[in-house]
């Protein structure tokens, strides 16, 4: 009897403003600059979400919920709730929020604003941040492993960090 071939784990991409849901052993990856990647993982069901947050506040703008910190977090929780996941064992990690051009204070410092807004949105939802790799002036490629729950952060010229 031939052995069943194991399917390759699916690697999903979370583009700007998107929220992607996946199940382990799948992964979700994206590249971040001033944007913030919010990873939420449920260890029992191996469900994971990655939101690629672009801006701090929706201010009433209608767009994809993942685009803004104040709409991304509620939408992620809503997606989990639709799967019957409402417990407090969620693990949250964040990365990104860089200032890529090394500019002084001004509208281009949106990375810092994004970080502050994401932290506020998570606090409002009573979610504790278990790991973070934020700020600086370099880009990040991040990958959420929906089997292990790890959040891998790659920065050019630096060692890989696993949150």
Q: Which residues are catalytic?
A: 35
Determine, following the binding rule CB under 8 A, whether residue 55 of this chain makes contact with another protein. Answer: yes
Position among 85, 112, 135, 141 found at the interface with another protein (CB under 8 A):
141
Position among 16, 85, 120, 125 found at the interface with another protein (CB under 8 A):
16
Determine, following the binding rule CB under 8 A, whether residue 110 of this chain makes contact with another protein. Answer: yes
Distance CA(78)–CA(90), nearest Å, equals: 13
Segment contacting another protein (CB under 8 A): 4-12, 37-45, 71-79, 137-145? 137-145
Distance CA(145)–CA(48), nearest Å, equals: 8
Report the chain's C-alpha Rg in angstroms. 16
Determine, following the binding rule CB under 8 A, whether residue 42 of this chain makes contact with another protein. Answer: no
Look-up: residue for tokens 């700020």?
135
Determine, following the binding rule CB under 8 A, whether residue 98 of this chain makes contact with another protein. Answer: yes
Closest by Cα among 4, 33, 149, 29 to 91: 149
Position among 11, 81, 83, 100 found at the interface with another protein (CB under 8 A):
100
Determine, following the binding rule CB under 8 A, whether residue 60 of this chain makes contact with another protein. Answer: no
Determine, following the binding rule CB under 8 A, whether residue 19 of this chain makes contact with another protein. Answer: no
42 contacts 98 by C-beta, under 8 angstroms: no
User: Could you list the residues that contact another protein (CB under 8 A)?
Assistant: 15-18, 31-35, 54-55, 61, 63-64, 67, 98-103, 106-108, 110-111, 138-141, 156-157
């Amino acid at each position: 009897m031939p052995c069943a071939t194991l399917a390759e784990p699916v690697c999903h991409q979370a583009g700007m403003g998107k929220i992607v849901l996946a199940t382990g052993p799948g992964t979700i990856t994206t590249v971040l600059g001033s944007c913030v990647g919010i990873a939420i993982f449920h260890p029992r069901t191996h469900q994971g979400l990655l939101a690629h947050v672009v801006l701090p506040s929706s201010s009433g703008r209608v767009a994809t919920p993942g685009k803004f910190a104040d709409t991304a977090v509620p939408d992620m929780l809503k997606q989990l709730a639709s799967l019957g996941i409402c417990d407090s064992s969620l693990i949250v990690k964040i990365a990104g929020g860089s200032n890529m051009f090394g500019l002084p204070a001004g509208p281009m410092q949106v990375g810092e604003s994004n970080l502050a807004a994401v932290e506020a949105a998570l606090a409002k939802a009573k979610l504790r941040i278990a790991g973070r790799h934020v700020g600086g002036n370099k880009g990040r490629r991040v990958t959420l492993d929906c089997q292990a729950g790890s959040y891998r952060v790659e920065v050019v010229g630096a060692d890989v960090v696993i949150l």
